[in-house]
Amino acid sequence: MRDICRDTLMNEYIHLPFFFQRTPYGVLLTNDIGEHHVLEDDDFEKFVKTKKGIHADILCELEGKFFCVKKMTQEMIEIYATRYRTKKYFIFESTSLHMIVVTNRCNQSCVYCHASSDDAYMTSGDMSVDTADLTVKNILMSPSRHIKIEFQGGEPTLNFEIIRHVVSQRGVLEGHGKAVSFVVCSNLLNVSDEEMKFLIDNKVSISTSLDGPAYLHDQCRVINSGGGTHDKVVNTLSRFRENGHDDVAALLTVHKGNISCLHDVVDEYLRLGFESVFIRGLNPFGRCEKNADILAYEQEEFISAYKNIMEYIIEFNKKGVRVSEEYFSMMARRILTPFGCGFVDMQSPAGGAICGLMYDADGNVFVSDEARMMYRSHADTAFLLGNVHVDTRSEWFRSENVERMLRDSVLECIPGCGWCVFAPYCGVDPVRIYRDTRMDGISRDICGGKKALFEYIFSKIYSEDAFVRRLVRSWAWQR
Ligand code: SF4
């Protein structure tokens, strides 16, 4: 029965809503619950036009993925709704990521610093104990049971006392039924032995920046008085590892000076024992915006460099060297598993406030890191929610800024995205869109190259090379 083409079968089915796009490997179909399928051109024509001759196996698969049904029963509606709710679980989880800027001072002056950090020798710019306590009090009000507290800056280790103070509240947070984890985003320039011991003893993860070997890293990541920082980063990294702490991740910022040398960056990451690299584009705020003439590249250039480096990474895996790229893995997880990827910038509606909140050193609260950057660079309050000294979490979430941000960031209602085949896996960063469309008065493409990256990722998911298909699946399921 399953092996025959049933001429009349398709007429028994009704279509459910789906998106589609023609690709070199067939017609890609996706739907709101995140299912995807590729049909050969001929089968697609039969499917949409209900012509005869479509294979029973294909119809079964399409039905299983909710592209069509024989009859829409109440039970099926409930299954569909559950699948949709699971995909949008982050809306019910709010807020799990809490970014605390413990200081705006920094001991580096990175050419592309989007946080507009102040000099390390300034006497102001640190978070006080009082502000830290009020911040923790508001974190406790988050419904989410999983809390990640990320210390940012400036360079957060310059105000280590506040890191110590907040981490010491772990028991209070756990006492309220929260599972807590901590991350310090540090340039690793000045971590003393005593501070390192504290971070290790308290299982604090480390996130740092590494732009490749010294000749690339030291182009942009320099200390205030001049001079590169590569050797210091590598040295601190080794000290962490010698002390048994492997929980150190690094990310890379791509700019005009290193975009054509990403192979050297991957080689350096492998030399230093990393198994993944995060290829991250420029964030056009603060110093990055001011230095655009020496940093910026065309979007096409980034996409081409990204694809090249992914091919390089795939080749390593074929030779038995395990290495992945974080953005690719997050998107693969979103496409191939029922789980979200927790990527705040890729949610619909936007993940700002719902997934992550940013607390500045003076107690100001923003929907995201980019929102804080825009406030610091342009004094723009469009994404400022309030201040821990003045109002509370429930007031922030009732504010007009949150309502507007959520309303304007539902992808399904955005022209161009509403019918995009990748919309079920995509999301927008409303601060970036606001910045691009209002700050300089130019209306731009809000997609920002995401479509080209999705096309590339799907070409690997449906690659003719079985090794590549398996590799992409392994990246999707790795945690
Ligand atoms: S941002 Fe781009 S890839 Fe994402 S849904 Fe919109 S058009 Fe598609």
pLDDT tens digits for range 324-366? 999 999 999 999 988 766 678 788 898 888 999 999 999 999 9
What are the structure tokens assigned to 24, written together? Answer: 């070199």
Looking at the DSSP bridge assignments, the partners of residue 448 are: none
pLDDT attached to residue 237: 97
pLDDT of 397 above 80: yes
Domain ranges in the chain?
Answer: 2-87, 91-395
**Chain position carrying tokens 């024989």:** 70
- Ligand 1 and 450: CB distance under 6 A: yes
**What average pLDDT does the structure give for the chain?**
91
> Maximum distance among all alpha carbons in the chain?
79
Q: What is the pTM of this model?
A: 0.90
- Ligand 1 and 416: CB distance under 6 A: yes
Pocket test for ligand 1, best of 36, 331, 410, 422 (most atoms within 8 A of CB): 422
Which of 249-253, 293-297, 399-403, 431-435 is predicted with the least confidence, judged by mean pLDDT? 431-435
pLDDT attached to residue 51: 57
207 within 8 A of 183, measured Cβ to Cβ: yes
Q: Percent of the chain, pLDDT > 70? A: 93
Mean pLDDT of the region 180-194: 96
Considering the segment(s) 91-395 as one domain, its CATH architecture is Alpha-Beta Barrel (3.20)
| Distance (Å) from CA 285 to ligand 1 centroid | 22
Helices 466-477/450-461 angle, 10° precision: 120
Q: What residue owns the CA closest to ligand 1's atom 6? A: 417
- Ligand 1 and 334: CB distance under 6 A: no
Q: Percent of the chain, pLDDT > 90? A: 71
